[in-house]
């Protein structure tokens, strides 16, 4: 296979190291060859995230030079078996325990569903009304 054919590769995460921000990726089209630890691309700046693809997720990787040793995981992508969560009008984060934080532009609301409750560490300031099951407090 030429260098150009090896530069961008799709694979499946075989293991993840969230504390290091790396994954190892299996490439089924290369006789299940497994990469070395690959750093995961993430947005930079002052609001950085800490999410890495989980084992079993489909990912796209870019490699430098010849081989699968020096590269980076560009991120995961959706497949027929892995659909995006939420609706077209929602943007946010969905967790495996059912917790969700998303903005729904169709209803113009930020929605928080917390399976284990919500903890606020700091002052709370409310400028609108507070409701409990539809009742204004």
What CATH number should be reported for the domain holding residue 47?
A: 2.40.50.230
Q: How many domains does the chain have?
A: 2
74, 63 in Cβ contact below 8 A?
no
Domain boundary among 24, 44, 76: 76
CB atoms within 10 A of CB 18: 13
Is the residue at 31 inside a domain?
A: yes
Please indicate, yes or no, whether residues 64 and 94 belong to a single structural domain of this protein. Answer: no
**Quick check: is 131 in a domain?**
no
What domain range includes position 113? 85-117
State pLDDT tens for residues 94-129.
Answer: 999 999 999 999 999 999 999 999 999 999 999 999
Residue 1 pLDDT > 60, yes or no? no
Same domain, 61 and 13: yes
Q: What is the pLDDT of residues 20-66, one digit of tens each?
A: 999 999 999 999 999 999 999 998 888 778 889 999 999 999 998 76
Average pLDDT, the chain: 90
> Does residue 18 belong to any structural domain of this protein?
yes
Please report whether residue 29 resides in a domain: yes
Q: Are 39 and 75 in contact (CB under 8 A)?
A: no
What pLDDT sits at residue 47? Answer: 79
Length of the chain: 137
In a domain, 46, yes or no: yes
Residue 135 lies in a domain: no
Percentage with pLDDT > 90 across the chain:
72
Q: Is residue 35 located within the same domain as residue 68?
A: yes
Q: Is residue 132 part of a domain?
A: no
In a domain, 133, yes or no: no
Please name the residues in contact with 28: beta carbons below 8 A apart, sequence gap of 6 or more.
11, 12
């Amino acid at each position: 296979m030429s260098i150009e054919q090896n530069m961008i590769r799709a694979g499946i995460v075989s293991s993840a190291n969230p504390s290091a921000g790396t994954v190892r990726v299996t490439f089924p089209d290369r006789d299940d060859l497994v990469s070395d630890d690959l750093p995961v691309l993430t947005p930079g700046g002052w609001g950085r995230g800490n999410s890495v693809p989980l084992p079993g997720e489909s990912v796209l990787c870019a490699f430098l030079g010849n081989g699968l040793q020096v590269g980076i995981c560009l991120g995961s992508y959706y497949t027929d078996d892995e659909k995006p969560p939420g609706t077209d009008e929602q943007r946010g984060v969905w967790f495996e325990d059912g917790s969700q934080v998303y903005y729904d532009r169709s209803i113009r609301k930020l929605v928080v569903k917390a399976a284990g409750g919500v903890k606020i560490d700091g002052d709370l300031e409310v400028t609108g009304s507070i409701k409990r099951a539809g009742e204004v407090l």
